[in-house]
């Protein structure tokens, strides 16, 4: 009975992971590999997940609750985005350790799962096909954002 409940809980997580664009091209076996690399942690409302300027070390998946992305120390006046359940943030950390551009904090009690850059790099070594599928999806998701940024830059007066 307990084993069945654990398996069902794992399948629910895998289903949530699969709904994310970054992992949407992965097969069930590949999703189980990724799920095995995730580190879950609960955060209390207003708890800081990471600060602006910190080295980006992981991407985060919101399994429950909501996360606020804001200017450092300005949760009320410096709101940048809210990340709802079933979404992710911090994916650029998989590519490099550049400093975080904003602070992330729990907008309400939440459950997050983190995929660290170190684990992703290990995935490149042990499951290259899985890692390449994730990297390709990351590039596909980042391309429109970069295009939008460059269009906005071109529209600025000199």
Contact between residue 110 and residue 66 where contact means Cβ atoms under 8 Å apart? yes
Band (3; pLDDT cuts 50, 70, 90): low
Q: Tell me the H-state helices in the chain.
A: 2-19, 28-37, 117-126, 128-155
Class of domain 2-155: mainly beta
In this predicted structure, the answer to whether residue 156 has a pLDDT above a threshold of 80 is no
The predicted pLDDT at position 125 comes to 95
- How far, in Å, CA of 154 to CA of 130, rounded? 36
Per-residue pLDDT for 145 more than 70? Answer: yes
Q: How far apart are CA 118 and CA 133, in angstroms?
A: 17
33-54 per-position pLDDT tens digit: 999 999 999 999 999 999 999 9
Mean pLDDT across the stretch 84-101?
Answer: 91
Share of the chain above pLDDT 90, in %: 73
Alpha-carbon gap, residue 120 to 126, rounded angstroms: 10
Model pTM score: 0.87
Q: Measuring CA to CA, how many Å separate 72 from each of 44, 104, 105?
A: 18, 9, 10
For residue 116, the tally of other CB atoms under 10 A from its CB is 16
pLDDT in tens, 112-137: 999 999 999 999 999 999 999 999 99
Ranges of each domain in the chain: 2-155
Separation of alpha carbons 117 and 123, rounded Å: 10
pLDDT of the residue at 96: 87
Q: Give the Cβ contact number of residue 72 at 10 Å.
A: 14
Contacts of 144 (CB under 8 A, 6+ apart): none
């Amino acid at each position: 009975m307990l084993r069945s409940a654990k398996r069902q809980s794992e399948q629910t997580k895998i289903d949530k992971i699969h709904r994310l664009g970054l992992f949407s091209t992965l097969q069930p076996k590949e999703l189980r590999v990724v799920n095995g690399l995730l580190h879950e942690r609960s955060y209390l409302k207003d708890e800081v997940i990471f600060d602006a300027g910190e080295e980006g070390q992981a991407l985060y998946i919101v399994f429950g609750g909501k996360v606020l992305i804001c200017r450092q120390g300005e949760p009320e006046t410096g709101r940048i985005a809210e990340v709802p359940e079933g979404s992710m943030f911090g994916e650029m950390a998989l590519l490099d350790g550049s400093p975080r551009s904003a602070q992330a904090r729990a907008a309400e009690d939440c459950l997050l799962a983190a995929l660290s850059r170190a684990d992703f790099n290990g995935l490149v070594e042990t499951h290259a096909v899985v890692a390449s599928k994730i990297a390709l999806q990351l590039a596909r998701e980042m391309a429109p954002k970069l295009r939008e940024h460059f269009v906005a830059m071109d529209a600025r007066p000199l």
